[in-house]
Structure 1
Amino acid sequence: MKPQAGSPPHDQRIPPAINVIALASFSASLSARALDPVLPHVAEDFGVTIATAAGFSAAFAFTFAIIQPVMGAAADLFGKARLMVVCLVLLGVANVLGALSTSFPLLFATRILAGIGSGGVFPIALSLTSDLVGAEKRQVAIGRTLAGAMTGNLLGASASGLIGDLLGWRGVLAVLGVLVILASVAVALGFRGAALARPPKTNLSALRHGYRTIFSNPNARICYSAVFIEGCCVLGLFPFVAAFLFDLGETSLSIAGIVIAGFAVGGLFYTMSVSRFLPRLGVKGMMIVGAALVGLQLAVVAFGPGWKIQALSLLFMGWGFYMMHGCLQVFASELSVEARATAMSLHSFFFFMGQTVGPIAYGFGIENLGKLQTLLMFAAVMVALGFVCARLLRQTRPADANPA
């Protein structure tokens, strides 16, 4: 879509500050899936079951989720870039403390701190991206921010498997902690020269008005419900991937990391292809095709193929997931202009609440129904979700947007 005449200059191109935002999302995402490939060893060291160890993912996601309303409000009140850097430092310190943990409860506590740190980065990165780029280029710009996050997920998952084989799970957390702290310094220096479009809010009444604006939009309940279901059905699977591979006789942590990293590779393919597929499929087509791809790949994983097939399957799953999720992010960014950080943080709140429920739901289903039936059920839910979103979501102008 071509920019309209009279649009502000920053709508005409992708600003250089987006690269700094992408670096921040990359740094935060390094830790998101870092423990998944090494969970069997964590469980062994502390004498707990793999289902209990999978609770780390739920704790991280739950903390990330519940902190979102606070982080979104703080970003709109005090400044997005400043809060993002502080949260990166907290995330790095939490990882280092995790490496030094001497008990399961202590390690659990550090994952809660990591969830708080990560919770202040990614949704605010999306909000800053939306502030800097006009609606007609927003999905492509968000794709670049997502590319940073996907690269972080890719390296975090794959590198943690390799580091885990060499240094153990403690080495994984120590190395990632130091890298995130160094990245926070680079991001802080990068933002010093960046011209950010919107000054921070300092008015609590404006914040309350922003919440009213967000929830008066009919797209809000659809967007937030959809990302909750996404998080549950897709991200809830990841803590069990290594255990599924162990059942097949693949006990190498590096293999588990490669398989999980396939999802991030698929996300990178999305960021590289969104500008080509969006004009051809449209928003509705992207959501339907993306959800169908996810459902199909969940069905493939359900039948327990070899690790190479599973890695390829997760690649296509990641591609399909972000085809749909990217559209939902754009809808969420248009719920409000003045409280955009709040809107995007609520988007992340519901998404990570889904990730909190997901491992619990998968664990319950696998124990009581079996792996095949559980994964096929979640596959059917995802396919249905794509059609529901395509039917119900509508392009609307934010109520607090400036008149055209």
Structure 2
Amino acid sequence: MTASSRLPPALNIITLATFAASLSARALDPVLPHVADDFGVSIATAAAFASVFAFTFAIIQPVLGAAADLFGKARLMVVCLMLLGVANILGAMSTSFWLLFASRILAGIGSGGVFPVALSLTSDLVGPEKRQIAIGRTLMGSMTGNLLGASVSGLIGDFLGWRGVLAVLGVLVIVASGAVLIGFRGAALTQPPKTNLAALRHGYRTIFANPNAFCYAAVFIEGCCVLGLFPYIASFLFDLGETSLSIAGVVIAGFAVGGLVYTLTVSRLLPKIGVNGMMIAGAALVGLQLMAVAAGPGWKLQTLSLIFMGWGFYMIHGCLQVFASELSVEARATALSLHSFFFFMGQTIGPIAYGFGILHAGKTPTLLVAATIIIALGFVCAKLLRQTRPADAAARPDVEP
């Protein structure tokens, strides 16, 4: 029997939730040129949608993480999925740039309550020895959602425009939220929370006293250097003469394909090269692909580069997620929400930093700098991060030594 076959069936429900939430994450990236044209703004201004989604996702994390630990994780996930679906539909009806901007803030809040809580539920259900494989299963839902969200939004955008993209995805997310609600009821994931405010305060102290809290700085840099690139991919293709939104969606979806490759290979790679090897190899692979994109190849080669970039990215990111899950037992949802906070703050700063660099230094130097930083990050993480038990694990008899 394989490790993956022994994973709890409830992971399938969690995977569905991450799939539904991830549909909207990259939905506007392939259609940004058309959004910019409709509202008479520049591509750099339209790229602010990616930043505001990520920023809202980030700043809501400390609140949502604490709420999940206090009031129940599964319940919070369903509410946030419904909010995300409604926000997408409101965005489709926007009559001004600022109304669309506001709808993306709501979407960021909705999405922000799903993925980190899903990781926390996964960590609660699975012990440390199988956690990276289980998180890989959860990531499969997220990557499939990103893949379909990016590729299908480009296709829908060619036929129905960017408004059609948001309307269709909004309806799909609302339908999925109903399915997740039914699944949670049958999976016994709604037990009363055991955390109180005193334990939550102690959890924050435990989290930041742990040397492995460096993983928060690492995911911030990841978000900046890797995900900050995505709002500019469609404009890079436009500069090459490729104006089809469907093609832009396919290229961006390549990253999610790479994420799926990671989920299918992690159970074989991890025993062979270990956590440190995963972080170094993943960062190196990402850096090489950033260099490749800087050279400005055609869309087919860019798609291939994004596939390898996604594979490498999740090799290091999956390791960092496991380190975050082991910062605290009593406040695990809070620890993983802080992980998402720093990651999405990186995605907030990333498009701004890329825009500044492209404007003042050019596309190629900017991408080469990002590549150098991410490669160095892999070696630093391998040196500084160590697999240890949470300091508050002794207080929980149900936690394996």
Aligned to 2:54: 61
Contact 1:260–1:314, Cα closer than 8 Å, also in 2 = yes
CA shift for structure 1 position 12 = 9.1
How many residues of Structure 1 are paired with residues of Structure 2 in the alignment? 396
1:80 is matched with: 73
1:216 pairs with 2:197:
no
1:338 aligned counterpart, secondary structure: coil
Moved over 2 A (4+): 195-199
Instruction: Give the Cα–Cα distance (whole angstroms) in 1 for the partners of residues 327 and 190 of structure 2.
Output: 18
Matched, 1:39 2:17: no
Do structure 1's residue 259 and structure 2's residue 213 form an aligned pair?
A: no
- Counterpart amino acid of 2:26? R
Q: How do 1:177-196 residues align onto structure 2 when only pairs under 5 Å count?
A: 177-196=170-189
Amino-acid identity (%): 81
State the partner residue of 2:145: 152
> Is residue 2:96 matched to residue 1:103?
yes
CA distance in 2, matches of 1:279, 1:123: 26
Please say if 1:17 is aligned against 2:13. no
Instruction: From 357, 367, 381, give the equivalent of 1:389.
Output: 381
2:218 to 193, 209, 226: 226
1:189-338 pair list within 5 angstroms: 189-196=182-189, 199-220=192-213, 222-338=214-330
For 1:279 and 1:397, how far apart are their aligned partners in 2? 20
Write the distance in 1 (CA, Å) between the matches of 2:42 and 2:190. Answer: 49
Instruction: Provide the C-alpha distance between the structure 2 equivalents of 1:194 and 1:103, rounded to a whole number of angstroms.
Output: 43
Offset at residue 193 of structure 1 (A): 1.1
Normalised to the residue count of structure 2, the TM-score between the two structures is 0.97
RMSD between aligned residues: 1.5
SS in 1 for 2:6: coil
Q: Which amino acid aligns with 2:167?
A: A
Equivalent residue of 1:396, what SS?
A: coil
Could you list the per-position Cα deviations for residues 218-269 of structure 1 after superposition, in whole angstroms to 9, with x for gaps in the alignment?
101x100000000000000000000000000000000000000000000000
Work out which of the residue numbers 92, 100, 116 in structure 2 matches 1:123. Answer: 116
CA distance in 1, matches of 2:90, 2:136: 32
What is the CA distance between 1:195 and its match in structure 2? Answer: 2.7
Question: SS of the residue aligned with 1:394?
Answer: coil
1:339 to 331, 337, 358: 331
Q: Equivalent residue of 2:16, what SS?
A: helix
SS in 2 for 1:254: helix
Report if the CA contact (8 A) 1:131-1:197 is conserved: no
SS of the counterpart of 1:101? Answer: coil
1:396 deviation in Å? Answer: 1.1
Displacement of 1:194: 1.0
> What's the counterpart of residue 52 of structure 1?
45
Shift of 1:202: 4.9
Residue type matched to 1:290 in 2? G
Q: Which residue of 2 aligns with 1:401?
A: 393
Does structure 2 retain, via aligned residues, the 8 Å contact 1:79–1:201? no
Q: TM-score, normalised by structure 1?
A: 0.96
1:350 is the counterpart of 2:346: no
Deviation at residue 91 of structure 1 after TM alignment: 0.1
Q: Which AA in structure 2 matches 1:283?
A: V
In structure 2, stretches of 5+ residues that fail to align are none
Work out the CA distance in 1 between the residues paired with 2:5 and 2:306. 35
2:343 maps to amino acid: F
| Residue 169 of structure 1: aligned partner | 162
- 2:69, 2:331 within 8 Å by CA — same for their partners in 1? yes
The answer to whether the 8 A contact 2:84-2:111 is kept is yes
